[in-house]
Structure 1
């Protein structure tokens, strides 16, 4: 009988030890889970848009650099809202990150970003990158600090070109009376007015439909956007004006940023910078391929008189006198 009791007691002790061991394993798993972080990044582009190209590379780099302890969920196609809504959500900490055009809705929060709505500030990509990746770009990103956001860097949207479904555009007068979709910022209205066109604000996510239904005659965007959003399906003419360069600003909420430790912050910063290099190289090569493919599809390309466009829009900067300091414009345009 005593032997039976001892056996039972031994089994009971073993079961308790096993249970405790199982509890420890669960706790370790929970602790590991707490150390892992998932960041949501929202954007409005399609699955092949410039935003997505940068975001996917960024997500891959974050996971690699953090050895799997950090992940990025990319939510494109405006699934979490348009750019204005995404910015609001980042500001209040609802989502951790977004990437948006500098001179679109972001300019309503940080007026100095309207700088990128000014025509012919930059001559070429090398000129752009020297400014964005230097002290000038750092100053602009720093302006987001007071808006409860952290500016992490600049990816690329690209040099912008005009498209329409009516006729070839070679000089500014060819645009007279056309309804051209613009971003929701005053500088774009001034820009189109200077060219004799009627500025018509339309959300980027609704632009294809607006072009298809004839609500607007044309729009202006980089070749990569025209291609990825399939605007060429409803636009017959592309005029390579190269009138503006639009950077994509990568933003994180201060709440999310401050919730990272120094090592995690370093991972994010390095991944943003490396994704920028990758995306820029990818898009530079893609431009020539897009022109060739769209010409085969019947799209008509024109090389406009850029000097005439530059002259016609020289006074657009007056629309920004109360928003963008003149010395900032001079600093960014100087080579």
Structure 2
């Protein structure tokens, strides 16, 4: 009898020890912010992502979505996430190139012609390996990089038909080297400021111009403070959904796979909305009185041709072309 009790006691102790040695995953909430309006395709994609993640993980992973810069500008949200705060965001990938320089290629001028090309490359082994390096270098986890926001066009107060027309014009752009050098090569003076400040900066004349995708032009009501949209499409804005590594590591491996898969799936959903609503957004902008112009892209492509070499991206461009089979 005593032997039986000792054996049972040993079993209980072993079970308790084993339980203590296994990782414990409590419910985790991911707070994801965006600078864009709730009705923007990215905002709608995030709301769908939230619902599907919570259902698929049975509430073990919860998502809170914050629109219209409620958690700050994109750079501020990235800084919060890196500091360990439970924050994530949808960001242009070039902002992450300070940690992994190769990532800048996702915003290289005139490199991707369609969303399908960007989506294919974002799931390639080469690109995913850069994502692994990002976690090591920055404390950020990239869930998916196929959240397409559309082609960036020039928004000005004067007509533009060639790079020389942008000479001396202060144009708001994203504060990453590939964006800055692209805008400079196109002829304008790159002026990085927060997205939430673009409307007032244009209104007050702090900047002369901006560049943005069709749905964002409409969502931010920039048609009220500009006169011309020139369809340069100089950069295809492919963005990534990133979260704090500290928060991510609190999620079980099974749930991490669910979240990643749904991030890719809903990136495609949001991208589809971007494509569907983009032309309608431009039509609405035109109806407001803004002039929408097609332009010969050859002079602009020639003007930015040196950006790849300037930023040492020739190797990455070759990788993109190999993956896309061109």
| CA 1:254–1:195: 2 relative to 1, 3 Å | closer
Greater Cα shift, 106-115 or 52-61: 106-115
Q: Take 2:97 and 2:217, find their aligned partners in 1: how far apart are those partners?
A: 22
CA distance in 2, matches of 1:192, 1:37: 40
Give the equivalent residue in structure 2 for 1:161.
153
CA distance in 2 between counterparts of 1:45 and 1:100 reads 11
What's the CA shift for 1:35?
Answer: 4.5
1-structure distance, mates of 2:51, 2:180: 39
Select 1:133's aligned residue among 123, 134, 144: 123
CA RMSD of aligned residues (A): 1.9
Distance 1:320 1:39 in 2: 34
Q: Say how many residue pairs are matched.
A: 297
**Which string of whole-angstrom CA distances, capped at 9 and with x for unpartnered residues, describes residues 89-135 of structure 1?**
2122211422211123x333333332234211112222222212222
SS at match of 1:196: coil
For the residue of structure 2 that corresponds to 1:144, the secondary structure is helix
1:303 is matched with 294
TM-score of the pair, normalised by structure 1 = 0.83
Q: Indicate the residue corresponding to 1:331 in structure 2.
A: 319
Give distance in 2, aligned partners of 1:58 and 1:121.
28
Deviation at 1:281, TM superposition (A): 1.1
Deviation at 1:282, TM superposition (A): 1.1
Query: In 2, Cα distance between the equivalents of 1:121 and 1:215?
Result: 31
Residue 236 of structure 1 contacts residue 299 of structure 1 at CA under 8 Å; is this kept in 2?
A: yes
Over 3 Å counting, the alpha-carbon distance change for 1:133 and 1:210 in structure 2 is same
Matches within 5 A, 1:239-254: 239-254=230-245
Q: Does 1:200 align with 2:188?
A: no
Aligned 8 A contact 2:93 2:104 in 1: yes
- Choose 1 or 2 for highest CA Rg: 1
Alignment match, 1:5: none
Farther off after superposition, 94-103 or 233-242: 94-103
- Normalising to structure 2: TM-score of the pair? 0.85
